[in-house]
Amino acid sequence: MAQALEKLGRAQGAEYRYDTPVKRILTRDGRVSGVELPSGEILDADAVVFNGDANALASGALGDNVRPAARAITPQQRGLSAVTWCLHAQTRGLELQHHNVFFANDYPSEFSAIFAERRITQQPTIYVCAQDRSESTRMVEGERGRERLLLLVNAPADGDRGGIDDATLSTLERHVFDLLERCGLQIERQTGDGVVTRPQDFERLFPCTGGALYGRANHGAFASFEKPASQTAIGGLYLAGGSAHPGPGIPMATLSGRLAAARLAADAA
Ligand SMILES: Cc1cc2nc3c(=O)[nH]c(=O)nc-3n(C[C@H](O)[C@H](O)[C@H](O)COP(=O)(O)OP(=O)(O)OC[C@H]3O[C@@H](n4cnc5c(N)ncnc54)[C@H](O)[C@@H]3O)c2cc1C
């Protein structure tokens, strides 16, 4: 998806600047006028589509002038964060599908621990994505080598308030791999293999989220309708991405990009 979008953009004359944070979004007379990079370089713009988390705007991380573009959310209103393990390892014992969920005994208690007590449960349900597999590429026990795995357990989005410490992580990790074993899945790995990402790491990747991966929580009948729309109170500044309407996930985030593009084109016309 990302490569297809990049190719399409280039064909339309777009230029890409990777690994280039935007320090501030600039405005003049209440309208967007460009962005400032950490080097001090200024890129003039008639319109800016921001697809970082909308809470970054509301909390002033992109400048006080653009705070009115979105409403701030409290840490309690954030959706889930996660601890993930990315591994390249051999598996045995159980034939994985592309998507696999290994349920703990008490699934609801995981969510009361996260949302009411702001802590990670030590008996979590585990999602395993075996990304080299699809329905048509089943691997045969004994023939397969190492494969790419993403393991994910839910966590509170408190990555900007300490996150998960080393001791909690190491107990959690033991429980995660014990549960997988009890369910019949052995993953051949050494402690320290692969890449572990905690809420505090997701906070660094997605600033002002506390590590929330899916924008604001969808608690209650109306929360889904409280996500910010593509148009903001600042002329020429538009929102897209997982924290904007209609919500997180690649299909939804893509729709939000289309909505922002349509709004921008209509305003420009
Ligand atoms: C481990 C994981 C698992 C997930 N699983 C699911 C799932 O199962 N289902 C689901 O629906 N969703 C899931 N999501 C969420 C989903 O991936 C996101 O909703 C979606 O990727 C959002 O896409 P996006 O393009 O809006 O934003 P992102 O992919 O978050 O891209 C935004 C980019 O903007 C960059 N950025 C932010 N601020 C600045 C700045 N000031 N200057 C420059 N760049 C900046 C960020 O670094 C980031 O690269 C998951 C996310 C993660 C991390």
Task: State whether the beta carbon of 253 lies less than 6 angstroms from ligand 1.
Answer: yes
Q: Is any atom of ligand 1 closer than 6 Å to the C-beta of 208?
A: no
Q: Can you give the residue ranges of every domain in the chain? A: 2-74+219-268, 80-205
Task: Please check whether residue 64 is in contact with residue 56, taking contact to mean a CB–CB distance below 8 angstroms.
Answer: no
Q: pLDDT (tens digit, 0 to 9) for every residue of the chain, 269 residues total? A: 899 999 999 999 999 999 999 999 999 999 999 999 999 999 999 999 999 999 999 999 999 999 999 999 999 999 999 999 999 999 999 989 999 999 999 999 999 999 999 999 988 999 999 998 976 656 554 456 889 999 999 999 999 999 999 999 999 999 999 999 999 999 998 777 799 999 999 999 999 999 999 888 888 888 888 899 999 999 999 999 999 999 999 999 999 999 999 999 999 99
Spacing, Cα 246 to ligand 1 middle (Å): 14
Please tell me the pTM assigned to this model: 0.91
CA gap 206, 242 in Å, rounded: 11
Query: Which one of 62, 81, 213 would you pick to mutate in the ligand 1 pocket, going by the greatest count of ligand atoms within 8 A of its CB?
Result: 213
Long-range contacts of 169-175 (CB under 8 A, 24+ apart): 169/83, 169/196, 169/198, 171/122, 172/83, 172/120, 172/122, 172/124, 173/85, 175/122, 175/123, 175/124
**Residue-level pLDDT at 180:** 97
Q: How far, in Å, is the centroid of ligand 1 from the Cα of 242?
A: 6
Q: Is the CB of 101 under 6 A from ligand 1?
A: no
Of the CATH numbers 3.40.50.300, 3.50.50.60, 1.10.3720.10, 2.60.120.10, which one belongs to the domain with range 2-74+219-268? 3.50.50.60
Q: What is the DSSP letter of 47?
A: -
Of 219, 164, 226, nearest to 197 by C-alpha is 164
Which pLDDT belongs to residue 87? 96
For ligand 1, the distance from its centroid to the CA atom of residue 80, given in whole angstroms, is 13
- Specify the ligand 1 atom closest to the Cα of 253: 26
241 touches ligand 1 (CB under 6 Å)? yes
Strands 31-36 and 48-50 come out as unpaired
Which atom of ligand 1 lies at the shortest distance from residue 152's CA? 1
